[in-house]
Structure 1
Amino acid sequence: MTGESAHLYRASVRWRHTSGDFVGNTYDRAHEWAFDGGIVVPGSPSPTIVPLPYSHEDAIDPEEAFVAAIASCHMLTFLGIAAKRRVAISSYEDEAIGEMTANAKGRLWVSRVTLNPRLTYPGTPPSEEELARLHHLAHRACFIANSVLTEIVVAGLGPDHP
């Protein structure tokens, strides 16, 4: 950030060897993510990557968190832009989906995130064109979208959006 101090965001990630053979690769990967305000979230690799019982289905995996961060950032940016444009929103729900594929070097990465927002309005909804424009502006302004190589699309908006 030119001429300004950087905004800093912190997360603590904590793991301890509690069970299994570490060097035999049969250890438990359960860990914690701790955030400011005292929130602690259970973390684990995805069971699709590291099989049970070394992973935990009831914990958040990094790939899910990545998809959630993209969807959350888009939503918050969208709502802020809608409010400034005086487009009233009653609710916003998204069932975002991340796709992991191999890149040209054969390395797995989250190559695409599809956002599936469902909105309700207290009155007349905006036109499809205005809604597409709001999503486009939100995508361009979202800090997370500006930080990743992952393709981010909003379902139903066509190939030129977000």
Structure 2
Amino acid sequence: MTEHAYGSEIAWTGNRGDGTRGYRSYDRAWEIRTPGKAVIACSNDPLLGGDPALPNPEDLLLSSLAACHMLWYLHYASTSGIVVTAYRDTPVGIGETGAGGAGRFLRAVLKPHIVVAPGTDLGAADAIHERIHDVCFIARSVNFPITYEASYATG
């Protein structure tokens, strides 16, 4: 095994002048700053006072999971001779919040819509999904089940 290090900077940007003097006196706004990359403005989940127009940690986790799945799918498709011309996913994460406010993901459903070249064996294209959980860094790191409901088109 080889270890990898990943890093970023998370910076709170929601101080309205009084810091956290009161629960409603500050914004739940923050930024992801990764050297040499675009800054990503974020907020908290709107259920917890965040800005609904900005990504929140739950959005980012679900998006990371779907992106990792997509990139491995494209890799396996390429090495299997399956030509993918478009890939779009609309994943859904199901979570719960306990009485004390602690939350967690219960499960995630990936819903990729994949366009493949005419004549593609759709059974072989679909079978790729079963291989991904064994290699996807993000999927192997979460403690909730991940399923998929893929759809296909040719074009």
Mapped to 1, the partners of 2:96 and 2:63 lie a distance apart of 18
1:70-115 per-position Cα deviation (integer Å, ceiling 9, x unaligned): 0000000111011111111001100011111257x98420111110
Counterpart in 2 of 1:137? Answer: 131
Look up the SS of the partner of 1:38 in the other structure.
coil
Shift of 1:20: 6.5
Amino acid at match of 1:149: N
Amino acid at match of 1:38: K
Look up the SS of the partner of 1:10 in the other structure.
coil
Task: Note closer, same or farther for the CA distance 1:78–1:66 as it changes in structure 2 (3 Å cut).
Answer: same
Q: Which runs of 4+ in 1 moved over 2 A?
A: 125-128
Mapped to 2, the partners of 1:154 and 1:148 lie a distance apart of 16
Unmatched 5+ stretches in structure 1: 158-162
Bigger fraction of residues in strand: 2
Counterpart in 2 of 1:44? Answer: 43
Counterpart in 1 of 2:23? Answer: 25
CA RMSD of aligned residues (A): 2.1
Mapped to 1, the partners of 2:109 and 2:83 lie a distance apart of 24
Unmatched 5+ stretches in structure 2: none
Mapped to 2, the partners of 1:24 and 1:11 lie a distance apart of 28
Number of equivalent positions = 148
TM-score by length of 1: 0.82
Look up the SS of the partner of 2:84 in the other structure.
coil
Within the candidate set 7, 11, 14, 2:8 is matched to 11
Counterpart in 1 of 2:92? Answer: 97
- Identity, in percent, stands at 28
Mapped to 1, the partners of 2:122 and 2:31 lie a distance apart of 44
The residue correspondences of 1:93-132 to structure 2 (distance < 5 A) are 93-102=88-97, 107-128=102-123, 130-132=124-126
TM-score by length of 2: 0.85
